[in-house]
Amino acid sequence: MSKRMSKKGFTLLELLVVLIILGLLAALVGPRLVGRVGKAKTEIAKSQIALLESALDQYRLDMGRYPTTEEGLEALINPPAGEDQNWQGPYLKKKKIPKDPWGRPYHYRCPGEHGDFDLWSYGADGEPGGEGENADITNWD
């Protein structure tokens, strides 16, 4: 057998064809996956807001009120000063306040403008308003 036939491997042309096919697949599938990641983060934010709402309701049952804006969500982890006799927390299993899926803290206001309390994230852009991934995620919608 000649030296050329005994060497196993791919030709440059074969490698280029495989790279072109992989590039086309990435171009077709990539954008669809990216859109789903954004939607998944929005769903995570909604779930976390629902979890925080439940914890706030448990707090209210024990304390007779929701935490004030000044006390914030931190009151779910640590008792407010001078009021720890009724406090039965921490009210979150992980014993820390989760950040929204984009790494920013949730916003909390009590009394709220839309209910007993308002709880929200500004979405992917971190700014009020927006559409799609940038839309605000709230507990009053």
User: What is the per-residue pLDDT for 130?
Assistant: 85
Question: Which residues, in sequence order, are CB contacts of 120 under 8 Å at separation 6+?
Answer: 49, 106, 107, 136, 137, 138, 139
Domain with 56, as residue range(s), is 15-138
**Is residue 4 domain-resident?**
no
**b or e along 36-48 (b: 16 or more beta carbons within 10 Å of the residue's beta carbon)?**
eeeeebbebbeeb
User: What is the per-residue pLDDT for 7?
Assistant: 67
**Is residue 3 domain-resident?**
no
Binned at pLDDT 50, 70 and 90, residue 110 comes out as very high
Cis preceding linkage at 111, omega within 30? yes
Tokens of 8: 């196993």
Is 140 within 8 Å of 114 (Cβ atoms)? yes
Long-range contacts of 134-141 (CB under 8 A, 24+ apart): 135/42, 137/42, 137/45, 137/46, 137/49, 137/100, 138/49, 138/114, 139/49, 139/50, 139/53, 139/114, 139/115, 140/112, 140/114, 140/115
**Is residue 8 domain-resident?**
no
**Is residue 79 domain-resident?**
yes
**Is residue 120 domain-resident?**
yes
**Is residue 41 domain-resident?**
yes
User: What is the per-residue pLDDT for 109?
Assistant: 96
Binned at pLDDT 50, 70 and 90, residue 33 comes out as low
Answer left, alpha or beta for residue 117, where phi above 0 means left and psi between -120 and 50 means alpha.
Answer: beta
**Is residue 112 domain-resident?**
yes
Is 90 within 8 Å of 98 (Cβ atoms)? no
Q: What is the CATH number of the domain that holds 93?
A: 3.30.700.10
Name beta bridge partners: 96. none
The model's pTM: 0.72
Strands 137-138 and 107-109: unpaired
- Tell me how many domains the chain contains: 1
Most confidently modeled of 23-37, 49-63, 84-98? Answer: 49-63
Give yes or no for residue 99 having a pLDDT over 80: yes
**Is residue 44 domain-resident?**
yes
